[in-house]
Amino acid sequence: MRYFIIGFALVVLCVVGVAGLRGGFTRRPPIELFNDMVRQPKLRPQVPNNFLPDNRSSQPHPPGTIARGVRYQDIPANTGRIPGTTNFLVSLPVPFTHQLLARGQERFQINCSPCHGAQGDGNGIAKRISAMAVVANLHDKRIVTMPDGEIFNTISQGKNLMGSYAAQVAIDDRWAIIAYVRALQLSRLATLDEVPQEMRAALKK
Ligand code: HEC
């Protein structure tokens, strides 16, 4: 046992003599047996790094980034429901603007018109070339009088034969689409009195 301790001490001395102590300085390249954890190819936060153009390892958020949790908050704009109840919102939770309507038109034509048709009457291309015969007519009185939140729910969750469009249509865009659907509905329900005077004659023809 004594010889073992002496031998072991000698081995340790030799190893330390050749390899040096951890953290010691040397001009020669250090011997690293298992070095994979010592130097990791990662960016450490808050230190300069010339990999990225502005030499910062911590990059600012890209414009338009929102915290993940915001989309899951229990607020009307996310759920389409009056907080604390299961009742649907009657009208849009976002301001009705020209941009919203334009965005809604574009999104409707991309995501909804293949089935519901460009006019929302349920005569999209899918009805003509496939057996999808029961696409809802968005001009039905039932849908005209439906709360906006319920249409939001249909886009988000789907309804009967219609699948969910949550993956394709962002939340803000769903409200934009609803604004546009309302405009489409109004286009069929408006009376002559609501048309500007100078355009009435053309409509009467
Ligand atoms: C793949 C075809 C398809 C697409 C795309 C589609 N729908 Fe539908 N939608 C349907 C069908 C089919 C129904 C009828 C569902 C039923 O009652 O069985 C329907 C029903 C509806 C209804 C009535 C729901 C109810 O309560 O009866 C609304 C509102 C609606 N869609 C809105 C939209 C909007 C807005 C979009 C675009 C984001 C859209 N749909 C995209 C096929 C589609």
> CATH number for the domain including 104?
1.10.760.10
Q: CA 149, CA 111: separation in Å to the nearest integer?
A: 18
CA 161 to chain centroid, in Å, comes to 24
Q: In 27-79, where does DSSP find H-type helix?
A: 76-79
DSSP three-state, residue 179: helix
Residue bearing the CA closest to ligand 1, atom 11: 135
Number of domains in the chain: 1
Ligand 1 and 16: CB distance under 6 A? no
The ligand 1 atom nearest the CA atom of 160: 18
Full domain range(s) for residue 104? 76-204
DSSP assignment of 92-150: -SS---HHHHHHHHHHHHHHTHHHH-TTSSS--HHHHHSS------TTSHHHHSS-HHH
Ligand 1: centre distance to CA 167 (Å): 15
Q: Does residue 53 belong to any structural domain of this protein? A: no
pLDDT tens track of the chain, all 205 residues? 889 999 999 999 988 887 777 777 778 776 777 777 777 888 888 888 888 888 888 888 888 887 877 778 889 999 999 988 899 999 999 999 999 999 999 999 999 999 999 999 999 998 888 877 789 999 999 999 999 999 999 999 999 999 999 999 999 999 999 999 999 999 998 888 888 888 887 776 5
Query: How far apart are the CA of 79 and the centre of ligand 1, in A?
Result: 18
Assess if residue 17 is contained within a domain: no
pLDDT at 205: 59
**160 CA to middle of ligand 1, Å?**
9
